[in-house]
Amino acid sequence: RKEVEQDPGPFNVPEGATVAFNCTYSNSASQSFFWYRQDCRKEPKLLMSVYSSGNEDGRFTAQLNRASQYISLLIRDSKLSDSATYLCVVNPWNNNDMRFGAGTRLTVKP
């Protein structure tokens, strides 16, 4: 079983739709959680860190469920520019050992 698992998608949604991604992790002692976005043939870029209480940044909302060991990312009012691969990242010990999911691909269509 992979340490961090994501549905690879692709998710194809129309502009304006709401879309949600889940990510499960295996290490119950994990300390830090992140969502990155990666455009085709580009580097991953930090989208948001995920806090225990959940957090929101504009159209993006991240949630953490420690009991079930998953994190989620909700995108509201999808834009064409949201098309990318979204990477779930878990840092088990809040140190140098980040573990990455393989990513979920999102395509937003006109």
Binding site for another protein (CB under 8 A): 4, 31-34, 42-46, 49, 87, 89, 91, 94-103
Residues in the chain: 110
Our CB check for another protein shows the closer of 3 and 13 to be 3
Residue whose pair of structure tokens reads 């940044």 in the numeric block: 57
Cβ of residue 33: shortest distance to another protein, in angstroms?
7
| Min separation Cβ 43 and another protein, Å | 4
Measure the CA–CA gap between 39 and 44, rounded to whole angstroms: 7
Nearer to another protein, 69 or 91 (CB): 91
Q: Which residues contact 77 (CB under 8 A, 6 or more apart)?
A: 16, 18, 59
